[in-house]
Amino acid sequence: MSGESGKPKTPLPGTYLKRDEYMKLPGLIKYKPVARYLFSAGQAQSRFLHGLKEGKILGVMCPSCGRVYVPPRAYCEYCHTPTSEWVELPGTGTIHTAVVSYIATDRSRLEEPEIVGVIRLDAPGYKEDQYEFAGLFHKICGVTPEQVMDGSAIGMRVKPRWKPAEERTGSVTDIECFEPVEG
Amino acid sequence: MERAAIIGVGWYGLRPTTPEVSFREMVFEAATRAYEDAGIDPRQDVDAFLSAQEDFWEGIAIADEFAPEPLGGVLRPTVTVAGDGLQALANAVMLVQTGFFDIVVVEAHGKPSDIASLGEIYEFALDPIHHRPVKPAHPLFMMAFDAQAYMMRTGADPSHLALVAAENRARGLRNPRASYAAKISVDEVLEAETIMDPLTRYDIAGYVDAAIVLVVARESVAKKLSDKPVFIDGIGYATETGTGTLEWHSWGRMPSMRVAAMTAYAQAGIGDPLSSTDFAEVEDRASHYQLIALEELGLAPEDQAHKLYERGEYELDGYYPVNPSGGSLAMGVALEATGLVRLLEAVLQLRGEAGGHQLDGVERAIVASWRGPPTTTSMVAVLSGPEMGF
Ligand SMILES: [Zn+2]
């Protein structure tokens, strides 16, 4: 579309507008909405967030079908019954899927590519299948983009890298990332 | 064509704040109650789910994606209606009447206590080219436009509005769902701080968090499953113009409600709503809207609602009871769930389950709601109770 200078290689006919000239044209109305919220995390997610603050990954089990929910829900979406029994997961797991991202939300180029993925958490006693498992979406560290791109990262054993206890706030970012289990 | 009937209702909240639950949990609680009421299993018995919500109320873009799970609708046909819950109910009625759907679930919820910039979201709903740049102090000014125009047209004065506010809030004292119920006098309403002249703080309804879930069934199915089905004899909705909505709107009137009512009455085979129905739950998120609604619905002659109201014609023991629940002034505004809150009240009345504010021998009701400022969208439903269905 455009050359390195940002201008078309072959100039198009017409009058070129500078950005500020363009923004001053009648017919362009700028508006920035003010949309602020205070989301109630609710019963299940609040308990989960309290767990993170204590360095624990908590899941909740459906009494009817035995599914373990991480992230937790107050209800089983398959049985439509309230979930009841809380379980502490060891935190370890395997990389279920991962990607390397080279661009930010505004499509600007990242200086360092970022790796994000879904971690299939170990949930002893829970018979998971291909699509339903206790898991978390998070950043992945200690893994190279090449390992992600050649597929060797998939299935890799990982564990959470926790923030120091005094820095945890009860947020999913109390886990900095998931990183490979040593050895 | 078979009618559609409501065979289950469930609600949660109707309180100014509900910090104990997420919006999903609130919907789950309401859904569980509705399914218990209808005696159905949502994972086996429901053919489609409808949810009424709007992204900026939710604080989630494409919030539709969160609709199925708390309803039991995961991997089942679910669709969102960006409007009031009564609009979703109208769509459920149409689905049922195709003959392909036996049971359809309708959900609406509002959690205004989660919204930290409610005024700015209202501003965001204004026309971006013509209205937002004017930066009105508060976008609720349009409710006061309607109040002024209504009084000028009819000769009503602020005491008529205050009478509605005081009565509705007092009626709420008998309704366990009415968080804003209060024993206040007309003078107290008039002397309270002015919010938007001529409306004082008691003339304008407060906000509540609420989730409402309905189970709607085809008539033949409803009669098998329920001994107290409430039939939807007619339901209509309409919207005025969007561009120039402030310039073109007939202030002091609600043309969309008149059109919605004509649609619903035609479906229900109603000529004169006053003689064909027994009571109404009507729009009152500010006091004057109750009077305007009475005229638009054909429940009061042109310009006469305030006079009939003054004479006590719409009291619980009057000629035609209006808002036995205390309305939104007593129960609050639950954003897109507001219409279904009012419908819930009508259903409970028709089943004889309204408790402290139960009316005697009511068989047919009108429910009329507005989607609130700055919309010009209204919905009207005509319901008939179990006895009328057989
Ligand atoms: Zn289950």
Residue type, B369: S
What's the predicted TM-score (pTM) here? Answer: 0.94
Taking contacts as CB-CB distances below 8 angstroms, the residues of chain B near A42 are 20-25
pLDDT value at residue B388: 61
CA B328 to centroid of ligand 1, rounded, Å? 37
B186 CA: distance to closest CA in chain A (Å): 36
Instruction: Please choose, from the candidates B107, B101, B69, the residue with its C-alpha nearest in 3D space to the C-alpha of residue B88.
Output: B107
Query: How do residues A77-112 score in pLDDT, each as one tens digit?
Result: 999 999 989 999 999 999 999 999 999 999 999 999
Distance between CA atoms of B213 and B199, rounded to whole angstroms?
33
In a domain, A31, yes or no: no
* Total number of domains in chain A: 1
In a domain, A23, yes or no: no
* Alpha carbon distances (Å) from B333 to A45, B109, B141, B166: 27, 11, 17, 17
* Alpha carbon distances (Å) from B240 to A102, B178, B246, B336: 47, 31, 11, 18
pLDDT value at residue A29: 87
Q: Does A64 touch chain B (CB under 8 A)?
A: no
- CB pairs below 8 Å between A and B: how many? 86
In a domain, A124, yes or no: yes
CA A64 to centroid of ligand 1, rounded, Å? 5
Distance between CA atoms of B57 and B125, rounded to whole angstroms?
11
3-state percent helix, strand, coil for chain A, nearest multiple of 5: 15, 30, 50
In a domain, A103, yes or no: yes
Q: Where are the domains of chain B?
A: 4-116+207-225
A18 CA: distance to closest CA in chain B (Å): 24
Q: Does A74 touch chain B (CB under 8 A)?
A: yes
> Is the predicted pLDDT of residue A2 greater than 80, yes or no?
no
Structural domain range at position A112: 42-180
Query: How do residues B157-190 score in pLDDT, each as one tens digit?
Result: 999 999 999 999 999 999 999 999 999 999 999 9
Q: What is the mean pLDDT of residues A145-174?
A: 97
**May I ask the CATH architecture of the domain B4-116+207-225?**
3-Layer(aba) Sandwich (3.40)
In a domain, A107, yes or no: yes
| Closest partner CB to A77 (pick from B69, B120, B123) | B69
Binary contact (B124, A41; C-beta < 8 A) = no
Q: Does A25 touch chain B (CB under 8 A)?
A: no
Distance between CA atoms of B7 and B48, rounded to whole angstroms?
15
CA B57 to centroid of ligand 1, rounded, Å? 30
Q: What is the mean pLDDT of residues B200-205?
A: 97
Distance between CA atoms of A42 and B361, rounded to whole angstroms?
41
A125 CA: distance to closest CA in chain B (Å): 24
Query: How do residues A163-176 score in pLDDT, each as one tens digit?
Result: 999 999 999 999 99
